[in-house]
Amino acid sequence: MKKLVLLFAVYMTSLVTVSAQRHSCCAPSTDGPALALQSDFIADHLAPNPLDYTPEATSSMLQFTTTSGNNGTAFYVPSGKPTKKVLILCHEWWGLNDYIKREAEHWQKMLGDVDVYAIDLYDGKVASTPDDASKYMSALDQARGEAIVKGLLQKIGNDKEIVTLGWCMGGTWSFNTTLAAGNHAKGCVMYYGFPESDVKRIKTLKTDILYIYGSQDKYITKDAVETLGKEVKAAGHKFELHAYDAVHAFANPSNPKFDKVHADEAEAISLKFIKSKLGLK
């Protein structure tokens, strides 16, 4: 009898581990190994193409104190004049690399009267290989990530209107940052980030969500995305879903499988969404 009980316990533990792996795509996990450690996920994320990039003179690395008392950093691209409108960018599993810094400058130019912050969730570490990215992403502690996010929000100030945007792992952190921003959150853009499944957390949402999805994504199901949409609407907010016949990370210009046509279309939709949420023309 004891052997049967032991076997059953082992079996249930394995189910929990598999479930944790399945539900941690592009997101930190404290319940088991992240999907970032799985060989197929690593193999599908090809090393970034090289980029010749020099930050603009007005851009800089910003330091702030996190809510855990440690230092945090973000790449800051200021508006040309004082503004209360803010866009926070959340990087993919590669970290705050030159592609994300260039994206921050690109979004600031498109939006105009907006301060843009690209948050660093890896404390300065940047991956150039899938193996390193896997290591950094799987090691990202939920508490540490939230402390960094809340520290940046405190640095930005409590009188701002905030929209968040992130890709893959950053899509998940775009949602997390929106929750942390509370009533200051005016919109959330998620590019193929793992959909939140905790209904209690979704109910604390204060704004609408735009979700960009690649229908060829092998790690995020459309059912999971649509379930998130239903819960967001049940919480009294709008959920806008745009799906493209594309792979996971199709909008990442560093990805050898970058799909420019669909990425440009998704960007135009995201730009319109962000402008509307921040009251920009």
- Contact criterion met (CB below 8 Å) for 240 and 208: yes
**Average pLDDT of the residues in 85-107:** 98
**Average pLDDT of the residues in 139-161:** 96
Task: Give the phi and the psi of residue 87 in degrees, each rounded to 5.
Answer: -120, 125
Share the mean pLDDT of the chain. 89
| 193 DSSP assignment | P
Give tens-digit pLDDT for 13-41: 333 333 333 333 444 333 333 577 778 88
- Alpha-carbon dihedral of residues 243, 186, 160, 137, nearest 10 degrees? -40
| Residue at 200 is within a domain | yes
| Residue at 14 is within a domain | no
**Average pLDDT of the residues in 193-216:** 97
β partners of residue 85: 161
**Percent residues over pLDDT 90 in the chain:** 82
**Average pLDDT of the residues in 139-149:** 95
- Per-residue pLDDT, 95: 97
**Percent residues over pLDDT 70 in the chain:** 88
Which of 86, 88, 113 has its CA nearest to residue 103?
A: 88
Predicted TM-score (pTM) of this structure: 0.89
CATH code of residue 203 = 3.40.50.1820
- Per-residue pLDDT, 43: 80
| Residue at 151 is within a domain | yes
| Residue at 30 is within a domain | no
**Average pLDDT of the residues in 36-51:** 84
- The number of folded domains in the chain is 1
- Per-residue pLDDT, 28: 39
DSSP string, 198-209: -HHHHTT--S-E
| Residue at 19 is within a domain | no
**How far is the CA of 127 from the CAs of 2, 48, 135, 144, in angstroms?**
47, 9, 9, 19
| Residue at 142 is within a domain | yes
| Residue at 22 is within a domain | no
pLDDT higher for 17 or 178? 178
Q: 106-136 b/e with 16+ CB inside 10 Å = b?
A: ebbebbebbbbbbbbbbbeebbeebebbbeb
Report the range of poorest mean pLDDT among 25-39, 129-143, 179-193.
25-39
Tell me the C-alpha distance between 254 and 25, whole Å: 20
| Residue at 262 is within a domain | yes
Question: Domain limits at 107?
Answer: 38-278
